[in-house]
Structure 1
Amino acid sequence: MHCHLLWGVDDGAHTLQDSRDIISLLKARGFHGAYCTPHIISRYPSNTPSSLKARFRELLDSLPDRDFDLRLSAEYMLDENFERMITEEEPLSHDGTHLLVELPQFRLPNAWMDMLQLVLDRGFIPVLAHPERYGKIMPPEELAALSTRGIRFQGNIGSLFGLYGKTCQAVARQFRKENLYLWWGTDAHNASMLKKLRL
């Protein structure tokens, strides 16, 4: 439900071959498809729903067969451009109902709760990407409390076995035990990272 295999648009796959390598590894590990969720964030100003749809079509057209179900969504950063990015064009949603969003990992942005409320006001359910990784900005109990406000969670598979550290692992396992996760994803940015995952 979350990976960065769409090439040349963010800090994920750099080339079309990189994208193909990630797809091959996912297939070898039993996956039947994946959502491409590139960053929509101020540091990648050219990433818009329109531009990402065009690149996604290029990816689909380049594949020799369609035995791997690829779909397009996005990971929206709650930053100074967030409101503009979800109002200028119809947001890239997994299913027309949920919107994947993320927080910076080292500081809470101003008015971040207002941004989440904006998502709700626009008729989407916010899905917070990898909340287990936000330990530097919010304690686990405050993060867990977001679930009572209509916010769902997407976890990183790597968090469960310590890829991001023991603290993150403990939070991920706690949230999993409490059934807070709606989705799981590899969050794979490249083939090397994917090879480290215990899938």
Structure 2
Amino acid sequence: MFGLFKKKKIAPEFNFSGIKTDMHSHIIPGIDDGAQTLKDALLLAKKFKALGYQKLIATPHIMADYFRNTPDTINRGLDILRKGLLENELDLEVDAAAEYYLDETLEKKIRQKEVLTFGENYLLFELSYINPPQNLIGFIKIMQDAGYKPVLAHPERYPYYYSSFENYHQIRETGCLLQLNSIALTGYYGSGAEKIAEEMVDNHMIDFLGSDMHHLKHAAALEESLTMPLMQQLLTQHQLNNALL
């Protein structure tokens, strides 16, 4: 009975204005698999505004074989987006960092201080969805030793960790922060991700909420997430770091 109540949708009485900032999106146009044009980006920006966000931190993919973005390409795209927002009188603050894929090139970027961070030197990174990393704990330490605060993007989306919830405790015990994709609570990524997301919320393991916004389907799911009791619990009873950015 209690599980059914937890999943039962209720009318949203509030939005994301309490946390102010979304720190994971792909809204910079034309540089990854998110918004492809400025028009696309502006549509997403309007959705963010309607949902109560006041600030965005755009985090384009950086992945050696697919998205070879650099701080320069990202900042040039950010300038285009900011200009578009200004010209269309959209009052939304936008900064940029990146979502780094854990591959053979990332360690070099870290050691050479060639990474884009947000807030207090937070570094957002993601893993393969198929193959577990060989030495995640060691790599987290490399980031920390270089002065960065690692933030693991959407831990609920890595199926190889589903077999034991202890995996998430071990990652968080290193000091690595966890960022939940809000729409995971709606079942958008499947029942496995939804279950892990719910368990992480129940265990107060979420440090950041992110939209991971790529397109309008994500925007619709993000709006739907506000009807989930666990989302309302997250926004009212948990100490998320978003509002500090």
Q: Show the counterpart of 2:138.
A: 114
Query: Separation in 1 of the partners of 2:196 and 2:158?
Result: 10
- Identity percentage over the alignment? 33
Query: Separation in 2 of the partners of 1:2 and 1:177?
Result: 22
Q: Show the counterpart of 1:154.
A: 179
Query: Separation in 1 of the partners of 2:67 and 2:52?
Result: 35
Q: Show the counterpart of 1:101.
A: 125
The residue type equivalent to 2:36 in the other structure is H
2:195 equivalent to 1:170: yes
- CA-to-aligned-CA distance 1:115-147 (integer Å, 9 cap, x gap): 222111111111100101112356322122211
1:55-66 aligned within 5 A:
55-63=77-85, 64=87, 65=89
Secondary structure at the aligned position of 1:34 is classed as strand
TM-score w.r.t. the length of structure 1 is 0.92
Cα displacement (A) at 1:196: 2.4
If each structure's helix is expressed as a fraction of its own residues, which one has the higher value? 2
Secondary structure at the aligned position of 1:189 is classed as coil
Q: 1:28 to 1:66 in 2, by over 3 A?
A: closer
Query: Separation in 2 of the partners of 1:25 and 1:131?
Result: 25
Aligned residues: 199
TM-score w.r.t. the length of structure 2 is 0.76
2:103 equivalent to 1:79: yes
Secondary structure at the aligned position of 2:207 is classed as strand
Q: Which runs of 5+ in 1 are unaligned?
A: none
CA contact (8 A) 1:105 1:137 kept: no
Work out which of the two has the higher radius of gyration on C-alpha atoms and give 1 or 2: 2
| Residue range with higher mean Cα deviation, 172-181 or 41-50 | 41-50
Q: Which runs of 5+ in 2 are unaligned?
A: 1-22, 227-245
Task: Calculate the aligned-residue CA RMSD, in Å.
Answer: 1.7
